[in-house]
Structure 1
């Protein structure tokens, strides 16, 4: 069975898809602004990865483990900013 979609239906579907794409992109960007990867933290603090790991091991920075088997580590942006503002980093 072949189904034919009119140009009007196609344009409506295309518009809906673009709206969904924009909403997903906004959500992803909001999430990424809240959680930083170790690489992003190192760049912000201008430190190396070993220094970053020492901060984590000493309890200065708190990592959040996310993903299958806690495979990805993140640091909350607000927590990092607080530590910087308080002069702890």
Structure 2
């Protein structure tokens, strides 16, 4: 499998990827980057966005609803989407 220029994105935590994405947005919004650099950082931003979305979907899939007793103690957990 061929490596892409943005394979390192896959190793970033959500927070690190989001921080990099915010910096890219700031740089692009400033309009100070040359065209070639703007295109390159935009492509990295797309990779970061996709990675963040994947991490969020994974986290959402793991969320569990805690069932509480009348006393407020956790008595069990069930998947969030269970009815």
TM-score range, shorter chain: 0.3 to 0.5
TM-score normalised by L of structure 2: 0.44
Question: Which of 1 and 2 has greater Rg?
Answer: 1
